[in-house]
Every structure is written in structure tokens, then in C-alpha cells.
Amino acid sequence: MQSKFSYWERNSFFNTIDLIIIGSGIVGLNTAIHYKKNNPKHKVLILERGILPNGASTKNAGFACFGSPSELLDDLSTNSENEVFSLVEKRWKGLQELRKLIGDENLDFQNNSGLELFTPSYTQIYETCLEKLDYLNKNLTSIVGRNTYSTVSNSYGFNNIIGIIKNQYEGQIDTGKMMSSLTFLAQSLGIQIINNLNVTAIHDNEKNVEVITEETGILSSRKVVVATNGFAKELLKLDVEPARAQVLITKPLNNLPFKGTFHYNKGYYYFRNIHNRVLFGGGRNLDFKAENTTSLENTPLIINELSRILKEVILPNTKYEIDYTWAGIMGVGNTKQNIVKQYSNNIICAVRMGGMGVAIGSLIGKEAAELLN
């Protein structure tokens, strides 16, 4: 029988596997790391369909955030106080878990605050946020600290802004450094990561799980964790849908007058200064249906709107050039609550980050690992 793999390859990589994790993003790596630390002799294999993680883990904006005022108030209109603030607490604890795991230097973590902008078309939302600031601060005190939100003046050169609300506890990271550090840590523990393997199906046979890929055929493992977020529905029946996010970045600019992570329109738009470039993303709300896809193509409607806001609001008096654009895939559902559960006897799912993977991914990975033990 002709084999694609040698004896050495089959024996070293594909035999006697204790745990297969599908997806090498934030959640998948954290699950592997926490599991391996508790089970150092177990063989852990991570399978990834892309050259790099194919979802949002290496394509996000690098926001270490947990919720702008308008986003939280919008969530409170459809969810209970306990649900909303419990989720904020998970995001906050997830950020602390991430910082503790690999260190602020390896994240390039900077506490430059998060700021939400309001234009005249969102006057009513701004006024509502002002009315509710004390209420939000009171509920967040026991979670993150006192006086989370406050108003600040527009000293950033933005145009057509009627107000800015600052979150003093939010920060930013370098997404590339984060993922490189997590990958290095995983590999240093003896976790194997194989890229460019597309998992097409998984079958729980009670005693073990068969993982089928186009490249290897059937792989057998005692346990499997599905950590593919927006792609999870391709393998399991779950309430999680892909949500594409569009991002653009400018060429380097001299003397950018702002630092921090900036939110606009209930968090649907977001931008920051990274290496003297403006990274600007969002606009999914312009066409939810079209952005409910795993395709990584750009959408002209959204890129054009990002370009308009960049020119008219963010850099109104600055000459700039857009260097390039990209897209990433998040996982969303009918609720922002994450799905971390025993899917079957030997399969765990850890998905639906709701666009907050940086904040919550480390905690979700840890919870998934705990379900395996």
C-alpha cells in the first residue's frame, strides 16, 4: 500500500495521540498549553487549516478591551445585568490570564486607554451614555476598578466629534507578538502544530475520536477540542456563525496625534495607531448578511465607508495613503455568551468569541482544558 507518509512521520506525528485540537488560534493554543502543563506525558497535536491561524487570531486589531459604553448599553437592552457584566468580567479575567501567561513584554501590552467617539448623528446615544456613566462605573468597580469611564476633550485632531468617553483600563497589544509567543510556549512544552491540514469531519466513537483530513485520512485521538470559532459550524451543529471583519492600514505617517484604542458606533468601528500607521476596521453592520461568510475577500461597500470615515473624521487634515487591506473571520451567535462545553463523550467545543477573542480567548482555552481533565 502506497503511503503519503514515512514510518518516521506516521510514528512521530500521527500515532498514539491523546488530544487533537482543531484550530491553532488563541483558544486552541491556550487549551493545548493548559492541558499539557497538567498532562506533560500526553501527546498533544494541533491541526490548522491555514499557513497561519485562519480565523481572527492573527488578523484582529490588537485591542485589549472589554466593552465601550454604547456597546454595553446596547447589550443591556437585550440581556440581563448579570449576563452583561458577567461577560465583561470574563473578558477582564481573560486579559489578565493572557498577560500572566506570556508577559506584557511579549505582548507589547500598553495601557493607552480605550476611547469611544461620538459624531452628531449619534447625539442621542452619546447623551444616553452620559446619563448612564455613573451606573456603568458602579457596576464595573468590583470587576476592573473605580471610575472606569470618564469624558475627555477632543485633543486628537478628529473632525466632527461631539464627545469622547475614555476607558482608563483598556489597552492594546501587538497581535503578531502575542501569537508568536503563544506558539513558542506551546512548542517548548512539546505540543506539535501541523499547518495546512483541512479537517473535513470528526466522529466520536465513544472510546476515541476519528478526525478526518484531506491530507492524512483518518487520525485517531482519545479526545478532541474544536477551537475553530467562526468555522466551527462546518464540523459541529452549533449556534455559531462566521462574521467577516474588514480592516485597512495606512502607510507610516509623521507625528500621529493619538494613541489608544478607539471605538465608534457601538464598537462596530475601531481604530488605533500602530507603528505610526492608522489601523482601521469594522463596518460589518453595513451588511450583516454579506459578512456572514468564511470568505476572506474584501467588500467594496465596507472598505469605501472605512475610507470615508478615515478621511472625514480620523485624519481630516492629513495626507495619507492606504497601504493594504485584509479580512478576518470571527464567530458570533444569537447571544454574546461563549460556547465552552462537552459536545459529546470525547469532544469539547470552545467557540463563539463574539469579536472579543483577544480579551477572552485565554480564559476560554483554560476552561476547555479543565473540561478535559
Regarding pTM above 0.85, the answer is yes
Q: DSSP states of 234-303 as a string? A: GTS--S-EEEEEEEEEEPP-SS----SEEEETTTTEEEEEETTEEEEEE-GGG-TTTTSSS-----HHHH
Convert the pLDDT of each residue in 74-126 to its tens digit: 999 999 999 999 999 999 999 999 999 999 999 999 999 999 999 999 999 99
Strand 209-213 and strand 199-204: pairing?
A: antiparallel
Domains located in the chain, CATH noted: 7-58+177-239+335-372 (3.50.50.60), 64-173 (no CATH), 241-332 (3.30.9.10)
User: pLDDT by residue (tens digit) across 180-216?
Assistant: 999 999 999 999 999 999 999 999 998 999 999 988 9
Which pLDDT score, from 0 to 100, does residue 1 have?
A: 66
Tell whether the model's pLDDT for residue 270 goes beyond 90.
Answer: yes
> Is it the case that residue 2 has pLDDT exceeding 80?
no
Written as nine digits, the cell of 6 is: 514515512
* C-alpha pair distances (Å), 238 with each of 51, 199, 235: 26, 17, 9
Share above pLDDT 90 across residues of the chain, in percent, rounded to a whole number: 92
Residue 267 has pLDDT above 70, yes or no: yes
pLDDT for the residue 373:
79
Please report, for residues 35, 89, 115, the alpha-carbon distance to residue 96 in angstroms, rounded to integers and kept in the order given: 19, 11, 20
Element (H, E) at 316: none
pLDDT in tens, 32-71: 999 999 999 999 999 999 999 988 999 999 999 999 999 9
Least confidently predicted of 4-8, 87-91, 234-238 = 4-8
- How far is it, in rounded angstroms, from Cα 149 to Cα 164? 10
Instruction: Give the C-alpha separation, 324 to 304, whole Å.
Output: 13
* pLDDT score, position 137: 98
The C-alpha R_g of the chain, in whole angstroms, comes to: 21
> Which pLDDT band, with edges at 50, 70 and 90, does 10 fall under?
confident
